[in-house]
Amino acid sequence: MNDVTFTPAEETDDPYAGVRETTEGPVYTVTGQDWEDVVGAAAAGEERVVVNMGPQHPSTHGVLRLILELDGEIVTEARCGVGYLHTGIEKNMEYRNWTQGVTFVTRMDYLAPFFNEAAYVLGVERLLGITDDIPDRANVIRVMMMELNRISSHLVCIATGGMEIGALTVMTVGFREREKTLDIFELITGLRMNNAYIRPGGVAQDLPPGAVESVREYLRWMWDHIGELESFCNENPIFKGRTVGIGYLDLAGCMALGITGPMLRATGLPWDLRKSQPYSGYETYDFDVPTADTCDAYGRFRIRIDEMKESLKIVEQCLDRLEPGPVMIEDKKIAWPAQLAIGADGMGNSLDHIRHIMGESMEALIHHFKLVTEGFRVPPGQVYSAIESPRGELGAHVVSEGGTRPYRVHFRDPSFNNLQAVSATSEGGMVADVIVAVASIDPVMGGCDR
C-alpha cells in the first residue's frame, strides 16, 4: 500500500485535491485514494475526521445530510442536516381554501399521501362538527386506501433498505409488489401518487366499476408474495449479520425522543393510534399490533412485514363491509361534487353533473362556482388530529379563525421526530451501520421538511 501525502492545494496542479485551513481546522479533499490511507493521513496527530454523507447520497432516503465524525471506521458523533427539500407547504395552505389544502398535504410524505390527507381532513371535519355525519361507505374506503398505502410504504422501506446493504433481490421484489399497489391507487383515484382523494366530508369519488374485484385479486397476489420477502431476509445469516443488534434504541430512548411507529413497537410497547385512539371506525376492525423486543433494525424489519399482513386483513374486512351508499356528506354547502366518474384522461368528468349545473339549474351553477372558488367557512377554533402513519404518529394542528382558509396548519410528522434517533442509533457503530440505522428509521424528507 502506497503512502499518501497531502500538500496544500495551492502547491498542486489540482485545485480540488489537497488540504486547506478553515476556522474549524484543516479540511482534506481527496479524489480517489484508498480510504485507509485517507483516514491515516487525515487523522495524524489525532485530528478528527468529519465527513458529509449526503444530502445527495443514495443511502440517505432523500435529501438528508448526515455529518459524521469518525475515528477510523467508528462513528463518534452523528448529526442530521435537514431542510434541503423545504416546500413551504404549511405556509402555502394559508392562501388556499380548506379543500384545496388537500392537494398540498398529499405531497408531504410522498410515500404516504392518503395518511397526510386523512390527518388534515379529520381535523377540518372536527372543526366543522361533522365527524359523525361522514357516510359509512366513505369511512370504509378511507380505511381501505390507508391500509393499502401502509403496505406500499413499508414495501419501499424494505426494498430500499435491502438495496443499501446489497440485497438487490429484495429491492426488485419489493418494488414489484409496490407497483401492484400503485395500480390499485390509479384505478380508484386516477393517480398513482399525490392523489388528493380524501376530502372534507368524504372522498373525491366512489369506487369505479371492477375496483372491488381488482382489490380482491391484489390481496391474493400479496398473500402469496409477502412470503418471498420473508424467505429472503428472516433467517438469512448475511441479512441478520447486518441488522441484528444494529441501530439499537430501547424504550427509554424512544420515550425521551418522542419516537413512534415501528421503532417504538420494536421495543415491545404495542402503541398504535388505531387501537389506543381509534378514528374512522378502526375500533370495529379485527387486527393485531405487531411488536418485538429486539430494539434493533432487524426487529423493525420484522414488524413492518407483520404490519403488512395485518393491513391485508383490514382491507379484506373493508371489502366485506362495502355497502351501497353516498361517499360524500349530504350537506351541499360543504360537499364538493363526489359523483364524478374517472374519465379516460384520468380526471373526473361526470357529464350528468356538468349538464345539470350548465344547462338545467342557474342556482346549482352559482352554488358550484362559489363552493369551488371561495370555499366553505369553518367555525373558529383549533384541533389536533392524529393518526397512525407507516412511520408513526402523524398529527395535524388545524386552526381556523372562521374564514374560508386555514389560519394555520402545522403537522407533527413522524419522520422529523424520528430522525432525532440518528445520533443514538449510529454513534459507537461502524460507518456501514449508519446506513442500516437510517434505513430502519425510514425517514421521508418530504414530510420532514414540509
Q: How many domains does the chain have?
A: 2
Percent of the chain with pLDDT over 90: 32
Q: Which domain holds residue 24?
A: 9-81
Query: Based on the domain organization, do 240 and 210 belong to the same domain?
Result: yes
Grid coordinates in use for 445? 424528507
Triad 22, 24, 29: Cα angle to 5°? 55
291 and 329 together in one domain = yes
Tens of pLDDT, residues 249-282: 999 999 999 999 899 999 999 999 999 999 998 9
Whether 22 and 135 share a structural domain: no
Both 43 and 161 in a single domain? no
13 and 106 in a single domain? The answer is no
| Mean pLDDT on 312-338 | 85
CA–CA separation, 440 and 275 (whole Å):
23
User: What pLDDT score does 319 carry?
Assistant: 93
* Stretch 281-310: mean pLDDT: 91
Query: Domain check: are 177 and 251 in the same one?
Result: yes
Task: Find the Cα–Cα–Cα–Cα dihedral 346, 348, 350, 351, rounded to 10°.
Answer: -60
369 belongs to a structural domain:
no
Q: Considering the domain boundaries, does residue 316 fall inside one? A: yes
Of the residues 65, 81, 97, the one at which a domain ends? 81
Element (H, E) at 52: strand 49-53
Beta bridge partners of 81: 65
If asked whether residues 99 and 135 sit together in one domain, one would say: yes
**177 and 319 belong to one structural domain:** yes
Residue 345, domain member (yes or no): no
Phi, psi of 422 (to 5 degrees): -60, -45
Please report the pLDDT score of residue 309 as a whole number: 92
Which three cell numbers mark 263? 421503532
Residue found under cell 399482513: 309
Please say whether the beta carbons of 259 and 250 come within 8 A: no
pLDDT of 13 above 60: no
Q: Are residues 67 and 185 in the same domain?
A: no
CA–CA separation, 440 vs 438, rounded Å? 5
Alpha helices for 132-259 (secondary structure H) = 136-164, 168-189, 211-233, 237-243, 251-257
Tell whether 52 and 161 lie within a shared domain.
no
Of 81, 110, 145, at which residue does a domain stop?
81
pLDDT at 441 over 80: yes
Q: Where residue 406 sits, what CATH number does that domain have?
A: 1.10.645.10
Residue 245 forms part of a structural domain: yes
Q: What's the whole-model pTM score?
A: 0.83
Q: Which residues contact 449 (CB under 8 A, 6 or more apart)?
A: 82, 83, 84, 85, 86, 87
Q: Do 171 and 249 share a domain, yes or no?
A: yes
Which of 81, 101, 125 is the C-terminal boundary of a domain?
Answer: 81
Residue 20 has pLDDT above 70, yes or no: no
Select from 146, 164, 143, 142 the least CA-distant residue to 154.
146
